[in-house]
Copies of this chain bind each other. A is one copy, B any other.
């Protein structure tokens, strides 16, 4: 395996796609062997890129035969760290929080929201699936007691930094942030911003160009 620093970011970002696809083939389609061409084809990734991506992590598959689906899924899962379930706290039990707790495929990606927190007294005590919404005042204690490293933020923008600060102080090392604002955290804490409004813009950009081209501008 190459040292971590030498692996391109784009490769790392494709690993979850391979994993998800292999998991489906293994669990639902009972496929035993897959070629890099077929695996890439399902994801819109060239087979040469599939082979290159996987080669960073060792030798998988056999030339002319392909990859054993279950073995490759297990290997990629280990690389990704999804061969165990990471518990996570979620702050913010609004509609987005609900949607996240209900999201079925998180556990196959190695992650489970084990605690849901909110500061709204009308929400505290209610249940989302089997999870009871707890008072956000208990967040520090919950994180420490359960040694949780992952935090998910789906609170309003103006509260996000404050919640992040509390999470970091309690020991959270990775924050998945759905509030459309940049969070300031220490260097050893990893933040992934899931800014939903940014996601749409590439589509609008393309629509806009299509229209300009149609008009001959």
| Distance between Cα atoms of A19 and B198 in the complex (Å) | 10
Are A209 and B99 touching (Cβ within 8 A)? Answer: no
Interface residues of A in 171-211 (CB under 8 A from B): 173-176, 180, 182, 190, 192, 194-210
Are A206 and B190 touching (Cβ within 8 A)? Answer: yes
A210 to chain B, nearest CB (A): 7
Partner of A197 from B44, B98, B99, B109 at Cβ < 8 Å: B109
A16 cross-chain contacts in B, Cβ below 8 A: 197-198, 201-202
The residue on B at minimum CB distance from A206 is: B190
Are B105 and A95 touching (Cβ within 8 A)? Answer: no
Given contacts A109-B201, A201-B109, contact A190 B174 (CB under 8 A): no
Are A150 and B80 touching (Cβ within 8 A)? Answer: no
* A34 part of interface (Cβ distance < 8 Å): no
A204 cross-chain contacts in B, Cβ below 8 A: 80-82, 86, 109-111, 150, 174
Are A196 and B100 touching (Cβ within 8 A)? Answer: yes
Interface residues of A in 100-153 (CB under 8 A from B): 100, 102-103, 105-106, 108-111, 149-150
Partner of A81 from B176, B198, B207 at Cβ < 8 Å: B207
Are A203 and B207 touching (Cβ within 8 A)? Answer: no
Partner of A190 from B42, B79, B203 at Cβ < 8 Å: B203
Are A82 and B174 touching (Cβ within 8 A)? Answer: no
| Distance between Cα atoms of A102 and B197 in the complex (Å) | 12
A148 to chain B, nearest CB (A): 11
Partner of A198 from B17, B44, B174, B195 at Cβ < 8 Å: B17
Most B-side CB within 10 Å, residue of A42, A175, A192, A205: A205
Q: Which 6 A-B pairs have the closest CB atoms?
A: A81-B208, A96-B99, A95-B98, A16-B201, A95-B99, A174-B203
Chosen A-B contacts, 7 in total, with CB atoms closer than 8 Å, are A81-B204, A95-B98, A99-B99, A100-B196, A110-B201, A149-B207, A175-B203
